[in-house]
Amino acid sequence: MIIEIKEWLKEAAGFIQVSLTQKLRVSQKSGRTDLVTNIDEETQSFLVKKIKQNYPDDRILAEERGFDKIESLNGRVWIIDPIDGTMNFVLEQENFCIMLAVFEDGIGQLGFIYDVMKEELYWGGKNRGVFLNDQPMVRPKDASLSEGLLGMNAYMYGKNIHSAGEIGHASMGIRVSGCAGVELIAMLKGNHIGYISNLSPWDYAAGLVLMDEFGFRYSNIEGKPLAFSKREYFLAATPKAYTEIQEHFIQNSK
């Protein structure tokens, strides 16, 4: 299964790279800054078709067009974001990812985050470790909040939602990339100690599998399990930084 998923992702990435030399069709979803393109939709269709051909009994949860709700995580479920960071895809033509996760009965089994323009595939699975392309990655140090950089949703930071502004000030600084995949990769590399944002299941599913392998902690911002059924405020961090953020900022503000 891993080998074929990698092949699908590379084929999809090649298709996306070529698409950047052509005219995109861009539409708005919920508002002016929530975009979708024909390439998001075509990439999702390609991956859905591959899954249905090879695993016809599995179910799929994905960002675009009718795949964005699922009744439960029972059985085997594929969770897909065909282009995570669509705004970056459209305006920067870089800093976006394909994300794909395989869950079984609610437990993450495989996760893939593909930085398409850098051609870097971060992947791994339960008790398998985490790899960058073919190289095993090293588990990052358990750094505290004051020692590290924190990926952040700009709106939460600016409005101090769930103390995000104060949490940012307690860190070494915030970074805003506009792409959950890019932020999760920064954590896996040990570049950032955490990430606070407002995410849907396809934004975090692949990342959770990889973060489990490296011992990161994650939940919704209030410390409850992620729902996999809606957009919600999201916190992931090193064990030390996660505990500090929960104890000093989130619980205090209640």
Task: List the interface residues with its own copies, window 186-205 (CB under 8 A).
Answer: 186, 189, 191-192
Q: Which is nearer to its own copies, 77 or 149 (CB)?
A: 149
Whether the Cβ atoms of residue 205 and residue 218 lie closer than 8 Å to each other: no
Radius of gyration of the chain measured on its C-alpha atoms: 17
Return the SS3 of 221: coil
Shortest Å distance, C-beta 150 to its own copies: 10
Q: Which of 1, 18, 138, 176 binds its own copies (CB under 8 A)?
A: 176
Shortest Å distance, C-beta 173 to its own copies: 6
Distance CA 202, CA 119 (A): 20
Size of the site for its own copies (CB under 8 A): 29
Shortest Å distance, C-beta 70 to its own copies: 29
Shortest Å distance, C-beta 97 to its own copies: 16
Nearest to 76 by CA among 100, 102, 50: 102
Annotate 59-96 with DSSP letters as a single string.
EEEESSTT-S--S---SEEEEEEEEE-HHHHHHTS-S-
Residues annotated in the binding site, as ranges? Answer: 63, 81, 83-84, 203
Residues that bind its own copies in the complex, under the rule CB under 8 A? 32-33, 87-88, 91-94, 146, 148-149, 152, 154, 157-158, 160, 165, 168, 172-178, 186, 189, 191-192
